Amino acid sequence: MLVVSRWPLLSAAFLGATGVMAGAFGAHGLRAVVSNAMLEVWQTAAHYQLAHALALLALALAMVVSPTMAVSKAALWAARLWLLGSLVFAGSLYSLVLTGIGLFGAITPVGGVLLIAGWCSLLMIKQ
């Protein structure tokens, strides 16, 4: 019997839940506290986080239903890169907005590269 790791599904659930929380916090808790420009930065972070939560969910479900996907190293790398990329990309933007420390904005592209690498990993999946 094929054993499928649950961590991609759990990671998708974590990113999705915290992405919704971040979006709601931005819309209701930050609106009166930060500038419109910083609010847009926050919304960008939440948007990318939620988009990659859905991508990770789709990949996790594909890994459950397809034995080929379940054992694919490329699929596992895509999942890892999307999780790490989402944490770095969105986390650095959230930190920038909350602290005003510009160095956090300099970290954001690293997260973006990780997200792109995750998408490129899908190109390596063998049928």
Banded model confidence at residue 1, pLDDT cuts 50, 70, 90: low
Q: Which of 91, 76, 7 is nearest to 46 (CA)?
A: 91
Residue 2 forms part of a structural domain = no
Number of domains in the chain: 1
Q: Which tokens in the block code for residue 72?
A: 């694919």
pLDDT digits (tens, 9 = 90+) for 74-122: 999 999 999 999 999 999 999 999 999 999 999 999 999 999 999 999 9
Residue 36 forms part of a structural domain = yes
Q: Structure pTM?
A: 0.94
pLDDT digits (tens, 9 = 90+) for 62-73: 998 988 888 899
Q: How far apart are CA 16 and CA 11, in angstroms?
A: 8
Residue 1 forms part of a structural domain = no
Q: How far apart are CA 61 and CA 65, in angstroms?
A: 6
Residue 92 forms part of a structural domain = yes
Residue numbers of the domain that contains 30: 7-124
Residue 81 forms part of a structural domain = yes
Residue 53 forms part of a structural domain = yes
Residue 112 forms part of a structural domain = yes
